Structure 1
C-alpha cells in the first residue's frame, strides 16, 4: 500500500470514528445527558483533527508539486473527503440538537 493510500485511509478511519462518537452523543441526548453528549462531541472533534491533519498534508503535497506531477484524484480520495465532510456535518447538527433540547428543558 502506498503512502498516499495510507494517508487517505487515515482520513476515512478518523472520520468514521468521529461520526461514531457523534452518534453516541445523539444517544446521550435521548437520555437527556447533555453533558455526556457534549463530552462525546469534544472527542469527535478531537478525532476530526486527525483527519484534518492528514487532509492538510495531502493538500500541502499537491500544492508543492509541479503542474505535471499533481497527486492523482482517485475514487478512494473522493470517498475520504465525503466521509470527512459528513462527519463534520453530523457533529455540527448533533451539537445544534443538544442546544435545542437543552433550551426546551430549561423552559419547563
Structure 2
C-alpha cells in the first residue's frame, strides 16, 4: 500500500469505504475477544493486528478527504459521512478497549496457572 492517498472518489463512495473497513475492524476485534476468552491469545493478537489493518484502510479514506479539503477542493459533509466517521471512531475505541480486556484475560490466565502450580506442590 502506498502512503500517498489516492484521488478521492465522491464523498458517498469514501463514506461507504470507511463504513465497510471500520465495520470489518470492529468485527475482527470482537472475534479476537472471543479467542481471548478461550485463552487462545495468539489467535486473539493476530485478529487484533488484522483489525488494526482494517482501521488503517478506513483512516486512509478519511485522509483522502482531508487532503482534498486542504487542497481547496471542498468536501461535502453529509449525514452519511458523519455516520462513517462515527463507525470509524467506535471501531477504534472498541479495539482499544478489547486490547485491554485481552490483557486482563492474559493476566488472569497466568495467575490461574501460577495458582494451580502452587496448589499441586
Q: Distance in 2 between matches of 1:102 and 1:26?
A: 11
Q: Which TM-score applies when normalising by structure 1?
A: 0.90
Where in structure 1 do 4 or more consecutive aligned residues deviate above 6 Å? none
Q: CA deviation at 1:106?
A: 1.4
* Equivalent position to 2:45, from 38, 41, 58: 38
More helix by share: 1
1:45-102 Cα distance to aligned partner (Å, 9 max, x none): 011111011000101111111xxx6311100010000000011011111100111111
Q: Which has the larger radius of gyration?
A: 2
1:83 counterpart residue number:
87
Q: CA RMSD in A?
A: 1.2
Q: Does 1:27 align with 2:34?
A: yes
Shift of 1:34: 1.1
The 5 Å alignment of 1:86-101 reads: 86-101=90-105
1:56 and 2:60 aligned: no
Partner of 1:14: 21
1:5 aligns with 2:12: yes
Contact 2:25 2:54 in 1 (8 A): yes
May I ask how many residue pairs the two structures share in their alignment?
104
Unpaired segments of 5 or more residues in structure 2? Answer: 1-8, 113-121
- Alpha-carbon distance between aligned partners in 1 of 2:103 and 2:14, rounded to the nearest angstrom: 35
Structure 1 unaligned spans of 5+: none
